[in-house]
Structure 1
């Protein structure tokens, strides 16, 4: 009976390298991987921990932080539509935005599905590294040196928002941030750096870390007013909605006294009053691209950078675009902190 040592001997590599090439192919060079795969094919050997061939896949797992968040709900719908078209069932788990709850559903899914999509995982990179091997795992809205990913251009989204506000005369913009463990929040904070956005006379003030929810925006609003900023960029649209509500309660006119810009362009963004200026994320494309790349690492997915930029594993970076609506306007000479009700 053919075993792994036979494959390694024929390929001219160690048994450990042969095992990685078959079960964790992204961890070895393309040349070494090809040598091992040819040897395995010649001997008719299949590694027991190798991911199933895409053509034999029957199901996918999808892990999201919060299905009540329309950002993740929209991605989940796109994943399910794409998977259904490929004849695959989708098992979905909601981790309630808690990194401590992520490991259990992932472990359960690895025994049940052929591949897993992790959407905005909060777990540290070391924990993601432990997912290498076995069923294929792909990240959405998170980069890692260990797993392939589909992400959006967070920093360019921030740059677009700041450029828009600067053109309206704003010189002090606050940022109502997201969770400390959020990779996208870290990326967006990077976009606030002058070395990135290049707007020399613009001051940016991060207000802190807040839950990525309506209540998070409500909590950030008083700090925003006290900051003296004339505009704010919210971590996401839900935070922006909370900001709008609390600013209204404090008697601050939007956009007359303070401009508000969101991030994501969820469906409700065009229905709130005033309609929200926001950075539009291609949510449907994110979900479709995740399924396509999970099934076929070489799938053609339009992106704005080469595969693998800034990481040692392939990734796709999807572009974002600013949608200007009614919540942003010309800067006022007097900051709202001087006029807001207590």
Structure 2
């Protein structure tokens, strides 16, 4: 016969409600009692009924995590870290992909709202107004976006962009092309502002090219504009765009880094395997995944009220083969 909560309570010498709290609200149970109950539950093979817990506590112990393109190698490390951290807190994560479509993003949020206790939105494509409206329904945390009244995890891409400009200036580059991302991207806007401020101190001419699709194809399509700008260096929205522009420039007979240096953003496996290996801005994606889930669970524990905690994670440049001295 299946082991019941009463069996665990009897063997532990505690009330049934104490066993229930051990699994549904462990912070309300003393450490010694919690450890004893969990140990005995493990010995007996007891597994709490999640559906029953949801009816009792009003929680599903499920979280939603929505990304704009699951095929982009930027997202998997974040997803894995978020899932692992959620599992430690006895939560499960439903992952969904919007394919860069804001309408699909809103539909997914509305669907998940019935099945989860909160949602993490990573690099959302919805407007801030839409996110604020949807955030009235259940707890939200946004990653790489600032939305009034919502908690956020921000990777300081502005810091990384400034370091990239400094690196390129030290190599003698004086004409820089900035390949932006999709329209409305918070990351793209932060990169632009930071690059504009940084080039002013180095006497560098900056040409902004975009918006661009945040894909390899987007980078390839921008290659001719880069060539036409006369730039000897490129700062790309992400590693995929950087890899694409390297391919596109190669097709035009432009060598990287001999003729043009290229810097990406994200430090993905694709960039490390590319030839030339990609100089890039390291984004702390695993830390962002863990932090976003932690902030979301804080909001859930607070009863779903709107919170506005903000965590900023540092970034930095790693220099590889795709950057070199400016051509004579």
Specify if TM > 0.5. Answer: yes
Q: Note the alpha carbon deviations across 1:218-274, whole angstroms, 9 max, x for none.
A: 001110011000000000000001011111222211111110000000112111110
Q: Which 10-residue stretch deviates more, 212-221 or 244-253?
A: 244-253
Please name the residue that 1:324 is paired with. Answer: 319
TM-score, structure 1 as length reference: 0.75
Give the Cα separation in 2 of the matches to 1:202 and 1:62: 40
Listed as ranges, the gaps of 5+ residues in structure 1 are 1-51, 300-311, 334-342
Picking from 240, 254, 257, the partner of 1:255 is 257
RMSD: 2.2
Instruction: After TM superposition, give the deviation of residue 55 of structure 1 in Å.
Output: 11
Does the residue aligned with 2:95 lie in a helix, a strand or coil? strand
Picking from 218, 221, 224, the partner of 2:223 is 221
Give the Cα separation in 1 of the matches to 2:319 and 2:104: 37
Q: Does 1:147 align with 2:150?
A: yes
Picking from 93, 97, 100, the partner of 1:94 is 97
Please name the residue that 1:175 is paired with. Answer: 178
Q: Which 10-residue stretch deviates more, 83-92 or 54-63?
A: 54-63
Please name the residue that 2:284 is paired with. Answer: 282
TM-score, structure 2 as length reference: 0.78
Q: Note the alpha carbon deviations across 1:264-311, whole angstroms, 9 max, x for none.
A: 001121111100000000111111111111112699xxxxxxxxxxxx
Structure 1's consecutive aligned runs of 4 or more residues displaced over 4 angstroms after TM superposition are: 52-57
Please name the residue that 2:81 is paired with. Answer: 78
Listed as ranges, the gaps of 5+ residues in structure 2 are 1-54, 302-306
Does the residue aligned with 2:134 lie in a helix, a strand or coil? coil
Give the Cα separation in 1 of the matches to 2:195 and 2:58: 44
Aligned residues: 269
Structure showing the higher helix proportion among its residues: 2
Closer/same/farther in 2, CA of residues 298 and 202 from structure 1, 3 Å limit: farther
8 Å contact kept, 2:67–2:121: yes
